[in-house]
């Protein structure tokens, strides 16, 4: 019920703030260490993990399990360690303990915990907290999404600019794209091709000789969603996100009036057909774009 969701939100916001303290502690430890101690590699040398990704996930998993014992849990680091329950209709928390791990290691302060809840295979609640900037984004399906920060201690409804103004064209958009950690030729070529069509010379770019105002790489999928919800970005496009990157962001962006495309399909089909969160061929062709906010006439600009 809406009241249940509010109570889960209260609990998960407290937990996200607690996780945020641990993230800040971890950042101090990593930034003051002379070497990259505690930094490990997953599938390649740019797919990074730290001891703090694991510590934060352990903390969050333990507290969620004790408060909501019947809920399932899917987390980035548990998945990496080989533990991932199949996606069912049961309430399932879906958590990225540190989204923006590369930023975290480098001291680039766009790092967050992304904590989502899925029910009947649909994301229905999201909490994204960046402890470096003290930006807290929350959303519940049907109940709006909000930002609280040092500047706005009372939650402010998203998007911040009201009403959300539709852009007449992608040619006036500020667009987030990401490099991701899959640097294989197929993926990077597909991405680079899309980047250049969006921002390159009008002759090879968008329709009617336009090019996007610019591209940004925030380095955290969840914060890209949050920034689209807030109105600072008009669009976020990425190939191959994982469920924990997008779960909370989907709710927050949609509740702010955004349109999310692609990732829903990943949610619905991946556990049955390809293994949960696996990058599908469709994603690799570069046809997936993820969040759009308030774009008006996009005809011919996809």
Give the residue numbers annotated as catalytic, written as ranges.
Answer: 76, 96, 98-99, 101, 245
> Does 286 participate in binding ligand IPD (rule CB under 6 A)?
no
Q: Which residues contact 163 (CB under 8 A, 6 or more apart)?
A: none
Nearest distance from residue 299's CB to ligand IPD, in Å? 28
Q: Helix, strand or coil for residue 291?
A: strand
Nearest to 226 by CA among 115, 94, 302: 115
Alpha-carbon distance of 66 to 71, in angstroms, equals 10
Q: Which is nearer to ligand IPD, 171 or 194 (CB)?
A: 194
Residue 297 annotated as part of some ligand binding site: no
Q: Are 98 and 23 in contact (CB under 8 A)?
A: yes
Stretch that binds ligand IPD, among 66-74, 82-90, 98-106, 118-126 (CB under 6 A): 98-106
**Dihedral sign for Cα atoms in the order 157, 161, 166, 172:** negative
98 marked as binding residue: yes
How wide is the angle at C-alpha 152 spanned by C-alphas 148 and 157, nearest 5°? Answer: 60
C-alpha to C-alpha distance for 296 and 302, rounded to whole angstroms: 13
State which of residues 72, 96, 234, 254 lies at the interface with ligand IPD (CB under 6 A): 96
Min separation Cβ 162 and ligand IPD, Å:
28
3-state helix vs strand vs coil in the chain, percent to 5: 40, 20, 40
Task: Give the count of alpha carbons within 13 A of 197, CB side only.
Answer: 14
Q: What end-to-end distance do the CA atoms of the chain give, in Å?
A: 38
- Whether 99 contacts 241, CB under 8 Å: no
**Cβ-based nearer residue to ligand IPD, 249 or 257:** 249
Of 245, 254, 255, 301, which one interacts with ligand IPD (CB under 6 A)?
A: 245
Q: Judged by CB, which is closer to ligand IPD: 49, or 295?
A: 49
Using CB under 6 A, pick the residue from 219, 231, 243, 277 that binds ligand IPD: 219
Shortest distance in whole angstroms from residue 127 CB to ligand IPD: 16
Q: How far apart are CA 181 and CA 162, in angstroms?
A: 36
The answer on whether 182 is annotated among ligand-binding residues is no
From 221, 229, 233, 235, residue interacting with ligand IPD (rule: CB under 6 A): 221
Under rule CB under 6 A, how many of the chain's residues touch ligand IPD?
14
Binding mask 171-200 for ligand IPD (x = CB under 6 A): -------x-x--------------------
Q: How many residues comprise the chain?
A: 302
CB of 34 to ligand IPD, least distance (A): 23
- Is there a cis peptide before residue 159, judged by omega within 30 degrees of 0? yes
Dihedral angle sign, alpha carbons of residues 39, 62, 99, 15? negative
Q: By CB under 6 A, which span of 164-172, 214-222, 258-266, 270-278 interacts with ligand IPD? A: 214-222
Residues 183-186: contacts with CB under 8 Å, at least 24 apart: 183/44, 183/46, 186/284
Of the pair 49, 125, the CB lying nearest ligand IPD is at 49
Q: By CB under 6 A, is residue 234 in contact with ligand IPD?
A: no
Q: Which of 50, 187, 220, 230 binds ligand IPD (CB under 6 A)?
A: 220
Chain residues that interact with ligand IPD, rule: CB under 6 A? 76, 96, 99-101, 178, 180, 219-221, 238, 241-242, 245
Annotated binding-site residue numbers: 76, 96, 98-99, 245
Binding-site positions for Mg(2+): 76, 96, 98-99, 245
């Amino acid at each position: 019920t809406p009241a249940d969701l509010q109570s889960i939100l209260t609990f998960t916001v407290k937990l996200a703030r607690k996780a945020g303290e641990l993230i800040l502690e971890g950042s101090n430890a990593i930034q003051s260490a002379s070497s990259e101690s505690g930094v490990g590699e997953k599938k390649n040398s740019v797919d990074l993990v730290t001891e703090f990704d694991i510590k934060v996930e352990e903390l969050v998993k333990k507290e969620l399990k004790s408060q909501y014992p019947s809920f399932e849990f899917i987390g980035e680091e548990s998945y990496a360690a080989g533990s991932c329950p199949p996606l069912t209709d049961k309430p399932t928390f879906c958590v990225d303990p540190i989204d923006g791990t590369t930023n975290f290691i480098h001291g680039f302060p766009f790092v967050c915990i992304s904590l989502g809840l899925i029910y009947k295979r649909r994301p229905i609640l999201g909490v994204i907290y960046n402890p470096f900037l003290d930006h807290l984004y929350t959303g519940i399906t049907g109940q709006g999404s909000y930002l609280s920060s040092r500047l706005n201690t009372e939650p402010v409804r998203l998007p911040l600019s009201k009403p959300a103004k539709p852009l007449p064209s992608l040619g006036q958009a500020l667009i987030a794209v990401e490099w991701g950690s899959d640097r294989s030729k197929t993926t990077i070529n597909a991405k680079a091709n899309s980047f250049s069509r969006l921002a390159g010379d009008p002759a090879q770019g968008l329709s009617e000789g336009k090019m996007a105002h610019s591209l940004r790489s925030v380095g955290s999928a969840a914060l890209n969603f949050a920034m689209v919800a807030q109105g600072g970005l008009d669009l976020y496009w990425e190939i191959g996100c994982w469920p924990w990157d997008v779960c909370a962001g989907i709710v927050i962006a949609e509740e702010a009036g955004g349109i999310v495309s692609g990732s829903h399909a990943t949610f619905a089909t991946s556990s049955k057909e390809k293994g949960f969160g696996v990058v599908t061929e469709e994603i690799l062709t570069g046809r997936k774009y993820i969040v759009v906010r308030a774009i008006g006439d996009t005809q011919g600009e996809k």
